[in-house]
């Protein structure tokens, strides 16, 4: 059974068709890249999968549960939408602590591990508002990883990252695959998608098509 499945999903915003009768199957333990121009519906597609956006028609199933029917939001999914999900008045440790789903005696270790994994200093206690754009992006990715969820969603994760940071991200995504995670990521950077993904979907004018599988 697919870990994520969309059937005939349509979404309109202000009478504009963003997702046009999309059907899509996501198998576990693979990396899926989603490409398309700005405004093509990449982010809306991810938010619909999470349950943050309600489709006008169709069904979205995540790990066997119909989103907005069996449960309101997708569970056991880590996600990153850049600065959008960060609390700039707190430090990175507090941002992650607020996301931990279960009380853990080793909270400090879990948080340090997530920060180190994305190349941030676990002992940096500055407020996030003092971070560079690249550091904020890395922290957002750490937010997606901190709960060790089986599904990871990353929206435009290369934003704010320099070339070195992008290469680091490719390696991180491949490590997530070795950990048997399922990863969905969007990017306008075709080169990055080809280096990091097993499969690439192209979305434009509300339609989606599957491109040739990549090397991963």
pLDDT tens across 180-198, in order? 999 999 998 888 999 999 9
pLDDT at 212: 59
Q: What share of the chain is helix, strand, coil (3-state, %, to 5)?
A: 30, 30, 40
Cα–Cα distance, 124 to 103 (Å, whole number): 23
Percent of the chain at pLDDT > 70 equals: 95
- CB-based contact 63:138 (threshold 8 Å): no
- Candidates 3.40.50.10490, 3.40.47.10, 3.40.50.300, 3.10.580.10; CATH matching 1-76+150-216: 3.40.50.300
Buried b / exposed e across 148-180, counting CB within 10 Å, b at 16+? ebebbbbbbbbbbbeeebbeebeebbeebbeee
pLDDT at 103: 61
Q: How confident is the model at residue 37 (pLDDT cuts 50, 70, 90)?
A: confident
Residue 10: closest CA among 199, 208, 156, 210: 208
- Max CA distance (Å), the chain: 49
pLDDT at 104: 61
Classified as helix, coil or strand, 158 is coil
In the chain, where the domains are located: 1-76+150-216, 86-148
Q: How confident is the model at residue 1 (pLDDT cuts 50, 70, 90)?
A: confident
Section 38-55 average pLDDT: 94
pLDDT at 40: 87
Percent of the chain at pLDDT > 90 equals: 85
Tell me the pLDDT tens digit for each residue of 87-144.
999 999 999 999 997 766 689 999 999 999 999 999 999 999 999 999 999 999 999 9
Residue 38 reports pLDDT greater than 90: no
Q: How confident is the model at residue 214 (pLDDT cuts 50, 70, 90)?
A: low
Section 30-51 average pLDDT: 93
- Sequence-distant (6+) residues with CB within 8 A of 94 are 87
Quote the pTM value: 0.94
Residue 179 reports pLDDT greater than 70: yes
């Amino acid at each position: 059974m697919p870990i994520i499945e969309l059937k005939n999903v349509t979404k309109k915003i202000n009478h504009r068709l963003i997702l046009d009768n999309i059907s899509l199957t996501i198998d576990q333990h693979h990396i899926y890249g989603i490409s398309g121009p700005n405004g093509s519906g990449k982010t809306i597609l991810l938010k619909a999968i999470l349950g943050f956006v309600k489709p006008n028609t169709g069904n979205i199933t995540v790990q066997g549960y119909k989103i907005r029917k069996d449960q309101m939001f997708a569970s056991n999914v880590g996600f990153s939408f850049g600065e959008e999900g960060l609390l700039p008045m707190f430090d990175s440790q507090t941002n992650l602590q607020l996301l931990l789903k279960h009380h853990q005696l080793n909270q400090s270790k879990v948080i340090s591990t997530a920060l180190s994994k994305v190349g941030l200093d676990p002992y940096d206690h500055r407020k996030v508002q003092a971070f560079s754009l690249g550091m904020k992006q890395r922290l957002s990715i750490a937010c997606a990883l901190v709960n060790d969820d089986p599904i990871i969603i990353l929206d435009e994760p290369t934003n704010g990252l320099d070339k070195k940071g992008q290469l680091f991200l490719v390696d991180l995504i491949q490590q997530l695959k070795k950990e048997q995670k399922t990863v969905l990521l969007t990017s306008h950077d075709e080169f990055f998608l080809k280096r990091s993904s097993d499969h690439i979907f192209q979305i434009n004018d509300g339609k989606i098509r599957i491109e040739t599988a990549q090397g991963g």
